[in-house]
Amino acid sequence: MHFASSPQGSPEPRRPLAIRPLSITAYTATTALGRGRAAQLDALRARRGGLRPNDFGDDRLDCWIGRVDGLESDPLPAPLAHWDCRNNRLAWLALHQDGMFEAVNAARERFGADRVAIVLGTSTASIGASEEAYARLEDGADGQPTFPADLQRPIVHTPHSLGDFVQHATGLRGPCVTVATACSSSAKVFAQAARLIAAGLADAALVGGVDTLCGSVLFGFNSLGLVSQAPCKPFDAARDGLSLGEAGGFALLERTEGAPGLSLRGYGESSDAHHMSAPHPEGLGARLAMGDALARAGLSPADIDYLNLHGTATPANDTIEAQAVATLFPDTLHASSTKGWTGHTLGAAGIVESVVALLALEHGVLPGILNSAERDGACGPQIQFDNAERTIRYAMNNSFGFGGNNCSLVFAA
C-alpha cells in the first residue's frame, strides 16, 4: 500500500523546552556479541562481529544473523513459566547481567514498587510463540484447528507479553507499558519514561527492549528485498541490505537532585509523513528528531562527540541518514553504525545502541563500522569506518522505524 504524502512545505521550527537530566544508574545489553556490557565493549574494541550464517529455524534463508546463544536450553523459572517463550527468555537473561536485577530491586525498595515505571520496546514481542502454535495446530473439540495446550497462554500472543512479563518478574507496580513502533520502539521508551517522571507519576523507570528472531521478521524483511546474503555493510557503496539480529537490554532512569553523572539529556521524536517502509528522501523526520533531541538537551550539534546511527545497511536508509547528518553536524563528529557487529535488532535496536553510546561515554571507545570498506558517496566526513578512542562528553543515538517513526536520544557522561 502506498499513497503520496500530502503537499507541505518545510515544517515550522518547533522548539521544545530543555528537560531536566535523568541519571542512568544501571544499564546492560545482551546481543550476538555476548551477555552484558563487557562482552559488547570487548567485541567493539576488538572489532569482532557477532553475525553468523543463518542457522535459525527449519527453512533457512541464505543470509547472516545475529543470534543469542543458549535461549533454547534455558526456560524461565517455574513461577514465571506462564510467560515462557524465546522473547521473554531473552528478557530474563538480559535482566540478569551487570547487576541490573539487583539495581531494580534496590530501586523498588528505595522508591516503592508503585513509584517505578516499566516502559519497554519491542517490534514483534513473542510472535514467535504464535508462529509455533500455528505450526503445531491440533484438532480441537469443535473440529476447528486449535493451539496446542502448552501454548494456550493468551499473554504470550499479544504485544504486551514483554511488559507484563517484566512487571511480574520484577514486582514493580508503577505504570507498565509496551511501546511497539517497530525499530524505534526501545529508543522511544526513554522519552515516555522521562515524561512519566517529569509529570510526577514515577520517581524512576526501568526502560529497555527485547526482540528475538522469528519467521515473521526473517521472511517479512526478505519479502521486501531488504535482507543481504552477506554480513551487512553499513554505509558501504556496495551494501545490499540488512542482517537481522536479536537482543535485549535495559536501563534504569532515576530522578536526581545532584550531579546527574551518566544521564539522559534529551529526546526527539518525529514522523516522516512519507511511506510505510521507505524513509523520507530528504531525511525530514530524521532531521526533526535530531534537532528536537538537541533542543531538549540544551546543546548545539557541535557539542555531540559520538553519534550511533540507525545505519541498517539498506541502500535507501544509509544514503539519506548520511545526508541528514552532513546537513546538521560539523565535520568533527564521529558517527557510525554498529549493526555490522550485532545485526539489526529491530525493536531492541534503540536500547542496544543506546548502550553502545553509554559505553562510549564511560570508556572512550568510539566504534567505527564493521564489514564495510568502500565509502558510499553520500557519506560526509562524519561517517567513520575505523574505531577511535578518546574521552567524550555527549553522545547521541538514532533509531528509525517503519511508518516513518523516528527517535533520537542525547546522553551525557
Task: Report, as residue numbers or ranges, the catalytic residues.
Answer: 183, 310, 344
* List 65, 176, 210, 383, residue binding another protein (CB under 8 A): 176
* 255, 22 Cβ separation under 8 angstroms: yes
- CB 274 to another protein: min, Å: 6
* 132, 138 Cβ separation under 8 angstroms: no
Of 172-180, 308-316, 353-361, 376-384, the segment contacting another protein by CB under 8 A is: 172-180
* List 23, 40, 54, 123, residue binding another protein (CB under 8 A): 123
Three-class SS of residue 186? Answer: helix
Instruction: For residue 365, report the phi and psi dihedrals to the nearest 5 degrees.
Output: -95, 110
What amino acid occupies position 362? Answer: E
User: In terms of CB distance, is 173 or 375 closer to another protein?
Assistant: 173
Of 332-361, binders to another protein (CB under 8 A) are: none
Distance CA 404, CA 399 (A): 11
Task: Tell me the number of residues near another protein by CB under 8 A.
Answer: 77
Q: In 10 A of CB 192, how many CB atoms?
A: 19
* List 8, 79, 143, 377, residue binding another protein (CB under 8 A): 8
> For residue 407, which of 308, 279, 285 has the smallest C-alpha distance?
285
166 touches another protein by CB under 8 A: no
Of 39-47, 306-314, 334-342, 396-404, the segment contacting another protein by CB under 8 A is: 396-404
16 touches another protein by CB under 8 A: yes
404 touches another protein by CB under 8 A: yes
Q: Name the DSSP letter for residue 313.
A: -
User: In terms of CB distance, is 236 or 321 closer to another protein?
Assistant: 321
Distance CA 137, CA 153 (A): 14
User: In terms of CB distance, is 114 or 389 closer to another protein?
Assistant: 114
At residue 208's C-alpha, the angle toward residues 236 and 255, to 5°, is 120
- CB 85 to another protein: min, Å: 13
User: What's the count of helices (H) and strands (E) in the chain, helices before strands?
Assistant: 11, 18
The runs of H, that is alpha helices, within 199-314 are 215-223, 284-297
- CB 295 to another protein: min, Å: 11
- CB 44 to another protein: min, Å: 29
Three-class SS of residue 336? Answer: strand
User: In terms of CB distance, is 157 or 375 closer to another protein?
Assistant: 157
- CB 382 to another protein: min, Å: 24
Distance CA 339, CA 370 (A): 8
Q: Name every residue whose Cβ is closer than 8 Å to that of residue 13 and which is 6 or more positions away in sequence.
A: none
- CB 380 to another protein: min, Å: 23
* List 131, 240, 282, 303, residue binding another protein (CB under 8 A): 131
Using alpha carbons, list the distances in angstroms from residue 35 to 40, 147, 236: 8, 33, 28
- CB 225 to another protein: min, Å: 8
* List 52, 75, 146, 316, residue binding another protein (CB under 8 A): 146
User: In terms of CB distance, is 225 or 377 closer to another protein?
Assistant: 225
47 touches another protein by CB under 8 A: no
Of 194-233, binders to another protein (CB under 8 A) are: 195-196, 198-201, 215-216, 219-225
Using alpha carbons, list the distances in angstroms from residue 33 to 46, 339, 372: 11, 11, 18
Three-class SS of residue 94? Answer: helix
Q: Name every residue whose Cβ is closer than 8 Å to that of residue 191 and which is 6 or more positions away in sequence.
A: 267, 269, 407, 409
- CB 278 to another protein: min, Å: 10
Of 97-116, binders to another protein (CB under 8 A) are: 114
User: In terms of CB distance, is 113 or 413 closer to another protein?
Assistant: 113
405 touches another protein by CB under 8 A: yes
Distance CA 194, CA 205 (A): 8
User: In terms of CB distance, is 225 or 258 closer to another protein?
Assistant: 225
Of 48-56, 157-165, 317-325, 327-335, the segment contacting another protein by CB under 8 A is: 157-165
Phi-psi region of 195 (alpha: psi -120 to 50; beta: other; left: phi over 0): alpha
149 touches another protein by CB under 8 A: no
User: In terms of CB distance, is 37 or 280 closer to another protein?
Assistant: 280
Distance CA 410, CA 176 (A): 24
String marking each residue 261-290 x if it binds another protein according to CB under 8 A: --------xxxxxxxxx------xx--x--
